[in-house]
Amino acid sequence: MSQNPNQSFCLLFDSDGTLVDSELLNCEAMSAELALSGIDESPGYLLHHYRGYMFSAVLDELQQKHDIDLDADFNQRFRQRAALHFEGRLQPVAGIVESLRQLSNAMCVVSNGPESKLELALRITGLASFFGDEVYSAYTVGSWKPEPGLFLYASRKMGFDAKRCIVVEDSRVGIEAACAAGMSSILYKPELTSADAEISAATITISSMTELPRAVQEIQDKAEHDL
């Protein structure tokens, strides 16, 4: 049995909706940019249907749905608009700062978003100091959730076996990726819906980030007991 269980487990955090309260801001930016191309999709619809999904897959589905080809500069314009939203309004997820201060585990950020977006979000919210350079983007690795490749890459870089990794996520695709990678997981859902119920059996679900240290300890205790 490990003499220092906290240091023998690594926490892999998603960014949007898990560390930073950015998902609605992202969807507001996308909705506004889509409207300029004649596509009418509300921020609420985008958030509900595409939470956590790979950006290019979202665009492909929207173009097919609306029978339209978005121009090559759409991605850049959306990112610029989202960055402006971030600069003025982005906040850490409620309770996450206090929980990160309590945790002594190794920690990293693992996201489907591009590195520039992750760095901006962590800087604006003051969370960068908790993670340093341990930020891993699907755009760099070339594997997007729900594929397990991004999590497995991050665990190798952090020096941890997959069984010693705990993923903290707010989306179905993130939990699916964690399961595929053979990692434990914690699902953050302030309001659990019926659509979330089927994935909650495979993870520990918390409704507030203040519950995170307890959930991490529960997973660690169980793993140490099983060894």
pLDDT of 77 over the 50 cut: yes
- How many other C-beta atoms are found inside a 10 Å radius of the C-beta of residue 30? 24
Closest CA to 48 of 208, 154, 193, 157: 193
Closest CA to 49 of 33, 37, 65, 38: 65
Is 5-21+92-226 CATH 3.40.50.2300? no
User: pLDDT at position 7, please?
Assistant: 63
Q: Where in the chain do CATH 3.40.50.1000 domains reside?
A: 5-21+92-226
Contact status, residue 108 vs residue 136, Cβ threshold 8 Å: yes
> For 149-171, what is the mean pLDDT?
97
pLDDT of 54 over the 90 cut: no
Mean pLDDT comparison of 75-79, 179-183, 198-202, highest-scoring range: 179-183
| Fold annotation for 23-89 | DNA polymerase; domain 1 (1.10.150)
Per-residue pLDDT band at 202 (split at 50, 70, 90): confident
pLDDT of 1 over the 80 cut: no
pLDDT of 201 over the 80 cut: no
Q: Where in the chain do CATH 1.10.150.240 domains reside?
A: 23-89
> For 194-216, what is the mean pLDDT?
84
